[in-house]
A and B are shown apart, each in its own frame.
Chain A
Amino acid sequence: MTTTESSSVAATRGEARRQATADSVYKPKDGLLLEVDDLFVEFHTDDGVAKAINGVSFDLYQGETLAILGESGSGKSVTAQAVMGILDMPPARITGGQVRYCGQDLLTMPDEQRRKTRGPEISMVFQDALSSLNPVFPVGWQIAEMFRQHRGMNKSDAFERAIKLMQRVQIPAAKERVKAYPHQFSGGMRQRIMIAMAIALDPAVLIADEPTTALDVTVQAQIMGLLQELQEERQMGLILITHDLGVVADVADKIAVMYAGRIVERADVYDLYRQPAHPYTKGLLESIPRLDLKGQNLAAIGGLPPNLMRIPPGCAFNPRCRYAQPLCTQDRPELREVLPSREAACHFSEEVLNG
């Protein structure tokens, strides 16, 4: 942590102390940063209870990129929000499971202590940068807020740091634009500002929730490149939440595929694309338009994702699955090892693997 020359003694000391506490409290063991263990989240609404997450578990190590892939309503964003601790409760309710950061359960932590993890330990980039930034404050002020709140820096030092960060995320003419408002930036630039805020306090875990979905492809390529670069530079654990199979193939190390609030397949990125073990993953990969199949029908998955208030009994995917057997409507398949270091939640994964 470098401090600017003009920083006051108090601020420096405060920062150092906080830094020291943070260092002693959170030490990853063997690079293991985050463990999500059998997490359950429900939403209580007037129409009933929506079971958004039904037993999700995954680990995240230093320097690793985990992609959580799923369609809308699969629970991928809710998972991220539960890890971040920014779920609206109510209507949401965490009904089970643990989220351990460096061995400590975040869910049972006192609020004040947990608040201090948001930013310096775990941080998040949201999809829609325009609505995530405050329209009535300059962007530099919003980035600087991280340093004022968490590091107790004074205004001018915090501003200096904000400019440095804006330069780091390659915003041209950062010095002149630090006092500009969010609406004066383009979509790609706003996403860079979001990223600057997220990495301001050097978090160990960065969660990116559909970071490029609202952007054009040429800008998407710039932003994904920047995220990767920052991750390598800081050895962050990156959780990338997306529905885009192309983006995942480009950057992920491991993939967790979600459907109806459960992880249905977990694998190394190369294995998953080469040979999916779950019928849903297979269906998704086949529904991408392919050059050699031009002029033919796309292999669409029939039907619709289930309503989370009425998840079908047995395997949630069974009404849309072409491998479904009577067993699938009764017995819910658990995530199991189908090949070395490959897991899928399907009774017939062996058949899926063999084509």
Chain B
Amino acid sequence: MAEAILSATDLVKHYPIRGGVLRRTVGQVKAVDGVSFELYKGETLGIVGESGCGKSTLGRLLMRLEEPTSGSLIFDGVDVYKQRGRAMRKLRRDIQIVFQDPYTSLNPRKTVGDIIGEPFDIHPDVVPKQGRRRKVQELLELVGLSPEHINRYPHQFSGGQRQRIGIARGIALNPKVLICDEPVSALDVSVQAQVVNLMEKLQDELGLSYVFIAHDLSVVRHISDRVGVMYLGKMAEIGDEDEVYSRPTHPYTQALLSAVPVPDPTLRNKREQIVLQGDVPSPANPPSGCRFHTRCFKAQEKCKVDVPELILRPDGAGEHFSACHFAAPREIIETIDVSGAATPAGGWAAAEQV
């Protein structure tokens, strides 16, 4: 594959829990606890996981909106966490972010022109002052909004349109990497598809690399080239989209995929669902050994003690990275129906039968 544009090594982010009169640190929330991966040029890396797994913290670390507890991040040969001042500011141009909630991430008192133009105030050398308005109008057009709307305020737009404004702001400085933190989760299904299409179009036109963080597995599968599955601050499995979705070897990935309802009633009661017991444990006090062992259907004594490494493990057809002592593929029957648009069901369905 192409060269890596962003490579994270052993990223760790612990948040202190303070207590007592002296506000002494009494514990650590281990939001991200040793995550490594590479993002290649022009690809989309999907990051999936349930709430509290650390995927949003990871996004903020990649932006350096949070300082890591340890670990390194190399962007284009430069160590991001070692840069300061002017050099860091220059670097920020190349890594931008689109936030989840289009309602709270846009300043309600600013016009769309001000919001999208703000990056140019901070980086004045990108576009000269006289050309800014034109540039903003070009951006609006690029994301499918009317350039005449430049003087409107965010409340005059719908959720999908606001997310387009957020995307326009994200690409204003011609970044190389765009971190998308749940960019379509707040949108309705019909509008979600429009925004996903827009993001794919922009990727082709501008040669962007995406880190696409989301909890919706089917959207992630649609847009991603590679996918990483996170659980409690660690990467459970990472590989090509096809490897992770068709031949998952980590029990958590298998459970997650089987729990997603498939939009096809004919598969009802035919899919074997792995229903996990209980909730995700607190990241302040993660289980010993493999973090998934408290909910895992394969767990054995070894899992309580040994932390499984994220290494290449066989998946039936080849091998990909998985962090499970007992990594093994399950029998999966794909239910693809290609007989025509009248039967859109099936989708990416990973129906499983034993």
Bitwise, B260-291 to A at CB < 8 A (1) or not (0) is: 11111111100001011011100000000000
Q: Which residue of B lies closest to A247 (CB)?
A: B261
* Cβ-closest 6 pairs across A and B: A246-B261, A289-B222, A300-B193, A216-B50, A298-B193, A71-B188
Q: How far is the CB of A197 from chain B (nearest CB, A)?
A: 20
Report the stretch among A2-10, A39-47, A48-56, A220-228 that lies at the interface: A220-228
Report the stretch among B115-123, B318-326, B341-349 that lies at the interface: B341-349
Say if the beta carbon of B215 comes within 8 Å of chain A.
Answer: yes
**CA–CA, A287 to B346, complex, Å?**
13
**CA–CA, A290 to B348, complex, Å?**
5
Number of B interface residues at 8 Å Cβ cutoff, please give it. Answer: 55
Q: Is the CB of A286 within 8 A of B51?
A: no
Say if the beta carbon of A189 comes within 8 Å of chain B.
Answer: yes
Say if the beta carbon of B256 comes within 8 Å of chain A.
Answer: yes
B contacts, CB < 8 Å to A: 50-51, 158-161, 188-194, 196-197, 200, 215, 217-219, 221-222, 241, 255-256, 259-268, 273, 275-276, 278-280, 334, 336-338, 340-349
Say if the beta carbon of A324 comes within 8 Å of chain B.
Answer: no
- Chain A 26-79 interface residues, beta-carbon cutoff 8 Å to B: 71-72
Given contacts A269-B265, A273-B265, A302-B194, contact A291 B221 (CB under 8 A): yes
Say if the beta carbon of A24 comes within 8 Å of chain B.
Answer: no
Given contacts A186-B279, A218-B259, A221-B273, contact A289 B221 (CB under 8 A): yes
A contacts, CB < 8 Å to B: 71-72, 172, 186-189, 216-222, 224-225, 243-250, 252, 269-270, 273-276, 282-292, 294, 297-302, 304-305, 355
**CA–CA, A283 to B200, complex, Å?**
20
Q: A286-B341, A302-B194 are in contact. List 17 more A-B contacts (CB 8 A).
A: A71-B189, A216-B51, A218-B259, A250-B265, A284-B189, A286-B344, A287-B189, A288-B263, A289-B221, A290-B336, A290-B346, A291-B221, A291-B349, A292-B346, A298-B196, A304-B158, A355-B342
Most chain A CB within a 10 A radius of its CB, from B194, B241, B265: B265
Q: Which residues of B contact A72 (CB under 8 A)?
A: 159, 188
Q: Which residues of A contact B278 (CB under 8 A)?
A: 172
Q: Is the CB of B279 within 8 A of A297?
A: no
Q: Which residues of B contact A274 (CB under 8 A)?
A: 266, 342-343, 345
Taking a contact as CB atoms closer than 8 A, the residue among B50, B255, B259, B347 that contacts A290 in the complex is B347
Q: Can you report 22 residue pairs joining A to B where beta carbons are below 8 Å apart?
A: A172-B278, A187-B279, A216-B280, A217-B215, A249-B263, A250-B261, A273-B265, A273-B344, A274-B266, A285-B263, A286-B344, A288-B218, A290-B344, A290-B348, A291-B336, A291-B347, A300-B196, A301-B194, A302-B194, A304-B160, A305-B188, A355-B341
**CA–CA, A122 to B82, complex, Å?**
61
Taking a contact as CB atoms closer than 8 A, the residue among B215, B268, B279, B347 that contacts A188 in the complex is B279
Q: Is the CB of B259 within 8 A of A217?
A: yes
Q: Is the CB of B256 within 8 A of A243?
A: no
Q: Is the CB of B263 within 8 A of A273?
A: yes
**CA–CA, A298 to B190, complex, Å?**
10
Q: Which residue of A lies closest to B334 (CB)?
A: A291
Q: Is the CB of A289 within 8 A of B219?
A: yes
Taking a contact as CB atoms closer than 8 A, the residue among A243, A269, A270, A282 that contacts B189 in the complex is A243
